[in-house]
Amino acid sequence: MGTLLLVDDASYMRRLIGIMAKKGGHKIVGEAETGEQAIDLFVRLSPDLVILDILMPDMDGLAVLKRIKELDSNARVIMCTASEQSHHVQEALSSGAQGYIVKPFTQESLNEKINTALSS
């Protein structure tokens, strides 16, 4: 399956997403809790997919997404959000995200989003 970089300021969310994704056959190659860490790990690890929280304290996920896309226009990113904040979701999709998932989500819905993004 795919290699994933998980980015969320909440460690429990990274852990939960990691458990669910591993059950779907994916490998977690890195975890970041800040935008700067995410960009650094993206450059070093070249993951197949980044799962990126939209709202983070230091640098929001939209800024991280734009930076990742500047570094690699083919990068695959799924945004993770606590609500379908239409302006955030629309901006993420127009900035190159392959999709988004709304918390809380099921293992099945997460892996469906991951598989769809990896096959695009």
> pLDDT tens-digit profile of 63-117?
999 999 999 999 999 999 887 666 888 999 999 999 999 989 999 999 999 999 9
Pick the CATH number of 3-105 from 3.30.530.20, 3.30.565.10, 2.40.50.140, 3.40.50.2300: 3.40.50.2300
User: Which residues are 27's β-sheet partners?
Assistant: 3
* CA-derived radius of gyration, the chain: 12
Angle (deg, nearest 10), helices 61-71 and 86-94? 0
Q: What is the pLDDT of residues 8-21, one digit of tens each?
A: 999 999 999 999 99
Domain ranges of the chain: 3-105
